Structure 1
Amino acid sequence: MLFNSYAFIFAYFPIVLIGFFLIGKRNVRAAAGFLALASLFFYGWWSVEAMPLLLASICFNYWAGLRLTPAPGRTDRQRKRMLVFALTVDLVILGVFKYANFFIANVNDGLAAAGATPLSMLHIALPIGISFYTFTQIAFLVDCWQGKVHERSFVHYALFVTYFPHLIAGPVLHHAQMMPQFANPSTYRVDANKVALGLAIFTFGLAKKLLIADKMGQYADLMFTGVHNGTLPSLYTAWFGVLAYTLQIYFDFSGYSDMAVGLSLCLGVRLPLNFNSPYKSTNIIEFWRRWHISLSTFLRDYLYVPLGGNRKGEARRYINLFLTMLLGGLWHGAAWTFVIWGALHGTFLMINHLWTAKVRRNATPGRLARVAGWALTFLCVMIAWVVFRAESVNAALEIYKGMLGFHGAPTSAFGEFAVPYRKPEFFHTLLVGLFICLALPPTISLERWVPQPALLAGQPRMAWTATAVIALATAVLFGFCVSQLGSYSPFLYFQF
């Protein structure tokens, strides 16, 4: 069930919210168990067939975590062997389900060139959310080995892994961010301010998804699907199609992140910041500190640093950086397009670090330099999104050719294929989207927009008026969003 569906908004979430707090008044452990079961139901709604794998993964990693924790009679060597074993099991399972067919397909290409008999493909479906819950548990195992985990409740661990706001599309959670909240009795008490703020953040996220991301997605699909079917994009069509996708994935991911934060806040739990206006970045290093923050942090802490980070010389640092981004691209999907996307960002980051270390050094960039840096960063991100979205490497190459004008100049672009990009609706949505992502603060900061009681102490009428205006505006926006529900509109990050 999608966050942006009637079933979720008007049935599932109200039942879970009410049930969680009613049970929490009597027994907090039972409330945590109820929320874990509700999260499993949410996952099962997507794929009952994938439930046994999720449950087996939770049980195995919880068992392994107990044996990785330092304890009397347990040597470091024994614990390291257990860590290697547990990580191998997790990565092999992820590899089989997500990458086996990709590997077989590439082997078959080589066999076909040699005239040999191809291997049979594995007829297995990719379990939804497997990358997120696998990475979440890998981080847990490593922290258990390092002695950082002190929470031992299986119920809280199961809830930590399955917690429905993040289970399908992230963020990649860290046990220290979540399990203490589940162990805190105050989490299970209704907080009207948190519920109100959570619903407002959810509404803004819903608006981003339905009113901007989905609208931009229609125009992006016209170009990318057209190229996949053999239509060559002109200069005009290619650039506006790529720009449409650039905004689609931004507001799709931003909208999902806002909805997840809002839903969780209603339940009294604060999710970590995962998305912080990345298109405002003035360099690619800053972009990766703002985009999918939890994944960037995971890759840094559990891949880049173990590879050696910047501790083994400058050359090794850049190799480690490139490998980290390459694997980060592969994490997004089993296709060469994702590998190339990761390689592009790895290259961008290496150039950015070299520029900072060798040219700019400690100099503070002026306003003109910041504007130029933003424009170059935005352009690089757009260029990389092409291969991220394209159906194949060949399709991406045709789009790149179109962006360079090899398939026609602007004057020849107003053919039938480009007509949709001339509609006023496209440009209105485009301009609104650009204004929001470049000029407004992230929705996560909505708490600062809401008048605080302390600021309006002694002015009850003003406080009431401000609250009423914000509540009315949120209700109107929510009602308009609900009127747009009905069509199938999955989040892009569900496929990763």
Structure 2
Amino acid sequence: MLFSSFEFLLAIPVAYATLVAANLYSQRAFLLALIALSLIFYAWFRAEYVLILIVSAVWNYLFAASIEQFPDKRIIGLGVTANVLMLVAFKYLNFIIENANLVLGQTWPQIFVVLPIALSFITFEQISFLSDVRNKRVQRGDFVSYLAFVTLFPKLIAGPIIRYRELLPQLSSARRITAEQLFTGFCLFCLGLFKKTVLADNMGSIVDPSVTSLGEGVIKQIDAICAIVAYSLQIFFDFSGYSEMALGLAWMFGIRLPVNFFSPYRSSSIIEFWRRWHITLSSFLRDYIYIPLGGNRRGALRTFVNLLIVMLVGGIWHGAAWTFVAWGCLHGLALIANHAWRQLPWSETCSRNRGLKFAGWAVTSMVILAAWVLFRAPSFGVAGNWFASIWQNHAQPAYMVSNRQLLLVSALTLWVIILPNIPTLFRIEWDRDRIDWTKPVGIAPVSLSLAALSALALSISVIAMARGQHNAFIYFQF
């Protein structure tokens, strides 16, 4: 069920009342109610998704039991391989067949497979669970707690990517759901809903016609530039809006999730960007791929190779297309260049110079925007037309961005660059490495101004939802 749908807005009071009543009865009843609600929301898309989700949870829990009893690398290797193979079967099988046909000159038919929503996110969470059990960072606990972790509906569809050791203490302890939690959580949900339905979807109305026109050839330079800036705003507002809605929903029920964005477009380096964009994915790639590969402990060359491998994995994780691989490769090369620059003796001095820091922001922004072209384009042909349109002005009037749309893009660009991200209104600590997950989060107290802002955001969002078609979140496809 889409968070940005009327059905979900009507379901929130029912879900909240159910969880509060179950919580008053017992902690176990709360977890069972949470699992039931999560499965209902997940089954709203396709009922068969639920069976896949439960089977995945059961076999990973059994793998964890084997790992606890026999902490052998072969067992965890088998568990990780099983998760990867399931992801390959549903997400990459047709991509593999298509490329095999091209290379081998065959005509093998593609297989109709429906990709279960959120499978990529679930796979990463399952892999981190098995790894943490193997390294004794967490015990597997009882199955009910684990199933509640896997199915938790605020984060199930599009993250944040949660680690079991972060959530288990919250699921295992008794909770006190307060009116302040309900208020602050609902306010954050409303602000995230506004980001999605009003800001992201309006940016999509600029991007989609432009990409369609680019599929036929080059377009005017101003249209191409406006389209890529609009897409950078669309994906930010869409994904950060979802993440904030997830944070708000979970906090309404007394569960704390990590912040996933922290003003990424204000970054003055690509390293800083990945510490601010999709923070939970960045930390997963660092802890479970980059560090096991050797990190930066085996010399500069091996560090650069590891960085490129990590970003290639991050690229293919997003989608079964070579454009995503190219997107990951571009970010990997940018990270390599950034790390190489930091090894120079004068780099630290330059980082304190305001003019050079602004230059770093400008270069970083250009790299990010160029990478978004590859991320959004359905093919290299479209990406090539997009780059050609940006580089040189063309006379074809295939699509014309209106002055009103151009003004909206400009205003939102300034807003994203200058103002901090919305979660800072709630004083939520964003650096997950410094979080004590056993303590309650510090959130801003109830305020009349925040209530008024949230009410206004909700009202405008409802109007936007009533006037337009509901668009799925961009990261649903991943």
Which structure has the larger Rg? Answer: 1
Distance in 2 (alpha carbons) for counterparts of 1:329 and 1:107:
20
TM-superposed deviation, 1:151: 5.0
- Contact between 2:226 and 2:409, CA under 8 Å: does it hold in 1? no
For residues 182-209 of structure 1, give each alpha carbon's deviation from its aligned partner in whole angstroms, at most 9, with x where no partner exists.
11202xx221111111111111111111
Show the counterpart of 1:460: none
Secondary structure (helix, strand or coil) at the match of 2:348 reads coil
Consecutive unaligned residues in structure 1, runs of 5 or more:
450-462
User: 1:428-467 alignment to 2 at 5 Å?
Assistant: 428-448=407-427, 467=447
For residues 399-440 of structure 1, give each alpha carbon's deviation from its aligned partner in whole angstroms, at most 9, with x where no partner exists.
1111110x52xxx47x3512xx1232x134213322331122
Show the counterpart of 1:175: 164
For residues 85-115 of structure 1, give each alpha carbon's deviation from its aligned partner in whole angstroms, at most 9, with x where no partner exists.
1111111111111111101001111233xxx
TM-superposed deviation, 1:35: 0.4
Show the counterpart of 1:37: 36
User: 1:378-457 alignment to 2 at 5 Å?
Assistant: 378-405=365-392, 408=394, 412=395, 415=397, 417-418=399-400, 421-424=401-404, 426-448=405-427
Range 386-395 or range 473-482, more displaced: 473-482
After the TM superposition, which segments of 4 or more aligned residues of structure 1 sit over 4 Å from their partners? none
- Contact between 1:111 and 1:118, CA under 8 Å: does it hold in 2? no
Range 32-41 or range 480-489, more displaced: 480-489
Secondary structure (helix, strand or coil) at the match of 1:282 reads coil
Range 378-387 or range 469-478, more displaced: 469-478
The one-letter amino acid of 2:208's match is D
TM-superposed deviation, 1:81: 1.8
Distance in 2 (alpha carbons) for counterparts of 1:473 and 1:277:
20
For residues 222-247 of structure 1, give each alpha carbon's deviation from its aligned partner in whole angstroms, at most 9, with x where no partner exists.
1112112x132122111111111111
- Contact between 2:65 and 2:140, CA under 8 Å: does it hold in 1? no
For residues 3-43 of structure 1, give each alpha carbon's deviation from its aligned partner in whole angstroms, at most 9, with x where no partner exists.
01110011x22111110011111111011111011111111
TM-superposed deviation, 1:264: 0.8
Show the counterpart of 2:26: 27
- Contact between 1:328 and 1:342, CA under 8 Å: does it hold in 2? yes
301, 305, 312: which one aligns with 1:319: 305
For residues 372-411 of structure 1, give each alpha carbon's deviation from its aligned partner in whole angstroms, at most 9, with x where no partner exists.
1111111110000001000101110111111110x52xxx
262, 265, 268: which one aligns with 2:254: 268
Secondary structure (helix, strand or coil) at the match of 1:211 reads helix
Distance in 2 (alpha carbons) for counterparts of 1:389 and 1:416:
19
Are 1:488 and 2:470 matched, yes or no? yes
Distance in 2 (alpha carbons) for counterparts of 1:403 and 1:423:
18
Distance in 1 (alpha carbons) for counterparts of 2:226 and 2:377:
15
The one-letter amino acid of 1:329's match is G
Distance in 1 (alpha carbons) for counterparts of 2:450 and 2:83:
46
TM-superposed deviation, 1:171: 1.1
- Contact between 1:215 and 1:429, CA under 8 Å: does it hold in 2? no
Q: How large is the RMSD of aligned CA atoms in angstroms? A: 1.7
The one-letter amino acid of 1:2's match is L
Aligned CA distance change for structure 1 residues 360 and 128 (closer, same or farther; 3 Å):
farther
User: 1:38-53 alignment to 2 at 5 Å?
Assistant: 38-53=37-52
The one-letter amino acid of 1:318's match is F
Show the counterpart of 1:455: none
Secondary structure (helix, strand or coil) at the match of 1:430 reads helix
User: 1:205-216 alignment to 2 at 5 Å?
Assistant: 205-216=192-203
Show the counterpart of 1:459: none
TM-superposed deviation, 1:276: 0.8
Show the counterpart of 1:99: 92
Distance in 2 (alpha carbons) for counterparts of 1:53 and 1:259:
25
User: 1:57-136 alignment to 2 at 5 Å?
Assistant: 57-69=56-68, 71=69, 74=70, 76=71, 79-112=72-105, 117-136=106-125
For residues 158-182 of structure 1, give each alpha carbon's deviation from its aligned partner in whole angstroms, at most 9, with x where no partner exists.
0111111111111111112111101
174, 188, 191: which one aligns with 1:201: 188
- Figure out how many residues of one structure are paired with residues of the other and give that number: 460
Secondary structure (helix, strand or coil) at the match of 2:262 reads coil
For residues 353-381 of structure 1, give each alpha carbon's deviation from its aligned partner in whole angstroms, at most 9, with x where no partner exists.
11111254432431111111111111110
Show the counterpart of 2:449: 469
For residues 42-78 of structure 1, give each alpha carbon's deviation from its aligned partner in whole angstroms, at most 9, with x where no partner exists.
1111121222111100000011112212x5xx4x4xx
TM-superposed deviation, 1:448: 4.3
TM-superposed deviation, 1:149: 1.2
Secondary structure (helix, strand or coil) at the match of 2:254 reads coil
Question: Identity of paired residues, percent?
Answer: 39
The one-letter amino acid of 2:57's match is I
Distance in 2 (alpha carbons) for counterparts of 1:400 and 1:472:
43
Secondary structure (helix, strand or coil) at the match of 1:358 reads coil
Show the counterpart of 1:7: 7
The one-letter amino acid of 1:7's match is E
Show the counterpart of 1:456: none
Distance in 1 (alpha carbons) for counterparts of 2:210 and 2:460:
28
330, 345, 348: which one aligns with 1:344: 330
The one-letter amino acid of 2:76's match is L
Secondary structure (helix, strand or coil) at the match of 1:484 reads helix
TM-score by length of 1: 0.90
- Contact between 2:61 and 2:140, CA under 8 Å: does it hold in 1? no
- Contact between 1:177 and 1:272, CA under 8 Å: does it hold in 2? no
The one-letter amino acid of 2:372's match is W
Show the counterpart of 1:454: none
The one-letter amino acid of 1:127's match is P
Distance in 2 (alpha carbons) for counterparts of 1:365 and 1:63:
52
Distance in 2 (alpha carbons) for counterparts of 1:66 and 1:293:
30
The one-letter amino acid of 1:440's match is L
Consecutive unaligned residues in structure 2, runs of 5 or more:
429-443
- Contact between 1:108 and 1:118, CA under 8 Å: does it hold in 2? yes
